[in-house]
Structure 1
Amino acid sequence: MSESNFKRFIEVGRVVLLRSGPHSGKIAVISEVIDHNRAIVDGPATGVPRQSYPFRHLTLTPFRLSKLPRGAGSGVVLKQLTSEGILEKWNKSAWATKRTAIEKRRSLNDFERFKTFVAKKGRRDVVRKSVKVAKKA
């Protein structure tokens, strides 16, 4: 049998990123698969209540709770999340840091965007001058 191209699967214990709804941008855990379209997700540490969520509004992350039983309640999910340190792993991941940087950039006001523009311009000038000096040497 050939090896699958897919690395992440919809399974009990998979940590997912919610893409739509009032809790979009938060992570939760699949605690039960309802059918081929929906699952019950629960995020007690991130403020996501236990609810049914369609797969098309979920993004699978590489993180997974190892020994989560099917249909586990919020208390069990919270205990597993804290014991395995999933939230810390998520916050340190490149995916989460990029998301926070994008959100921060989107929340800037006009003057803060201008200050960022001027700082980038100054940094670009310093780099250009150092490259010119390095080419001469």
Structure 2
Amino acid sequence: MTDQPSNFKRFVEVGRVVLLTSGPQAGHIAVIAEIIDHNRAIVDGPTTGVPRQSFPYRHLTLTPFVLTKLPRAAGSGIIRKHLEKEGTIEKWNKSAWAQKREAVEKRRKLNDFERFCVVLAKKQRRDTVRKAVKKASA
């Protein structure tokens, strides 16, 4: 065994905040409450509407957030207290990752007229920037 540093920064562990990538709660975040085996974990999202359930790792994405000192097999109440105490949901909502997902979702829900308005706004912004650059270089 060599003592080389690991390239991995995020590990499957109790208390790890995960993003669900499939199923009815896809796009919601939850917390790993217990590790079942090498393929599945019990996840729970008491504040995000994710019921306590077994979930395969291949349908989870590990986030950089971890609940510190969360006991193994903690119940929903304890997980809720830790989430609120550490402000993890607020940290997630402020992260660039969550904001990007929200922007993509918002863009996906636009109707035809709203997409047209976005095109006009981009043209207007591009024109304003072009004129400002031309004025600054002159």
Aligned to 1:113: 115
For 1:18, give the aligned amino acid.
Answer: L
TM-score when normalising by structure 2: 0.97
Q: What's the CA shift for 1:130?
A: 1.2
Q: Which runs of 4+ in 1 moved over 3 A?
A: none
Q: What's the CA shift for 1:16?
A: 0.1
Q: What's the CA shift for 1:69?
A: 0.5
What is the rounded CA distance, in whole Å, between the counterparts of 1:119 and 1:97 in structure 2? 21
Aligned to 1:31: 33
Aligned to 2:77: 75
**For residues 63-122 of structure 1, what are the alpha-carbon distances to aligned partners after superposition, in whole Å with 9 as ceiling and x for unaligned?**
000011111111110010000100000000000001111100001110001011101001
Q: What's the CA shift for 1:3?
A: 1.2
What is the rounded CA distance, in whole Å, between the counterparts of 2:47 and 2:53 in structure 1? 15
- The RMSD of aligned alpha carbons is 0.5
Q: Identity percentage over the alignment? A: 72
Q: How many residues align?
A: 136
What is the rounded CA distance, in whole Å, between the counterparts of 2:16 and 2:85 in structure 1? 15
Q: Equivalent of 1:126, from 121, 125, 128?
A: 128
Match of 1:15, SS?
A: strand
For 1:88, give the aligned amino acid.
Answer: E
| Greater Cα shift, 5-14 or 124-133 | 124-133
Match of 2:26, SS?
A: coil
Structure 2: 5+ residue stretches without partners: none
| 2:96 corresponds to 1:94 | yes
Match of 2:106, SS?
A: helix
TM-score when normalising by structure 1: 0.98
For 2:48, give the aligned amino acid.
Answer: T
**For residues 13-33 of structure 1, what are the alpha-carbon distances to aligned partners after superposition, in whole Å with 9 as ceiling and x for unaligned?**
000000000000000000000
Match of 1:68, SS?
A: coil
